[in-house]
């Protein structure tokens, strides 16, 4: 239904489909991507609203645990999205979330998750050269190169 509508979301007044991921219908990509977004947002708010920043970071960590625990692609759990957003895998989103959580927390376990624990399983950190909605390996390398401590 969304693909037939080309107006701004804030102008939409028709019913829109709703889907969710949960332990019965996991969506690792969606949960990990949201964890990455919340972790990066926590950095933005850290200096101006520390309490809000901590809330964002706490939710990012919860979503990351969920995503890593329930490793199932959302396009498997929610087959109706397959025609539009079929995922080639969730490893890159887990790495992406791990990198942002590392930057937000400075917890070396997140860095280890990305560079040691899962780099081979999720592969290709050293050999990619492009970024897309379905492959974040190249984007994961950029924050790893930033030495901010």
**At residue 128, does pLDDT exceed 70?**
no
Q: Between residues 16 and 109, which one has the greater pLDDT?
A: 109
Distance CA 35, CA 100 (A): 8
Percent of the chain exceeding pLDDT 90 equals 49
Digit-coded pLDDT (tens) for 69-94: 999 999 999 888 888 788 888 888 99
Q: Between residues 61 and 85, which one has the greater pLDDT?
A: 61
pLDDT of residue 57: 98
Q: pLDDT grade, residue 136 (50/70/90)?
A: confident
pLDDT of residue 127: 61
Please report where in the chains the tokens 């969304």 appear, as a residue.
2
Percent of the chain exceeding pLDDT 70 equals 84
pLDDT of residue 123: 63
Triad 115, 116, 118: Cα angle to 5°: 85
Tokens of 149: 């401590």
Distance CA 55, CA 7 (A): 32
| Burial tier of 73 (Cβ tally within 10 Å: 0-12, 13-18, 19+) | buried
Q: What's the Cα-to-Cα distance from 124 to each of 20, 51, 87, 94, 99, rounded to whole Å?
A: 30, 37, 17, 14, 15
Q: Could you give phi then psi for residue 48, rounded to 5 degrees?
A: -105, -25
């Amino acid at each position: 239904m969304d693909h037939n509508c080309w107006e701004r979301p804030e102008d939409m007044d028709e019913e829109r489909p709703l889907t969710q991921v949960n332990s019965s219908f996991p969506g690792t990509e969606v949960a990990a991507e949201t964890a990455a977004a919340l972790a990066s947002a926590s950095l933005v708010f850290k200096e101006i609203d520390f309490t809000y920043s901590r809330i964002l970071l706490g939710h990012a960590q919860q979503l990351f645990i969920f995503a890593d625990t329930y490793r199932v692609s959302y396009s498997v759990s929610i087959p109706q999205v397959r025609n539009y957003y079929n995922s080639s895998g969730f490893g890159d989103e887990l790495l992406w979330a791990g990198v942002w959580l590392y930057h937000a927390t400075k917890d070396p376990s997140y860095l280890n998750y990305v560079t040691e624990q899962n780099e081979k399983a999720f592969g290709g950190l050293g050999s990619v050269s492009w970024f897309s909605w379905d492959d974040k390996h190249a984007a994961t390398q950029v924050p790893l190169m930033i030495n901010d401590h």
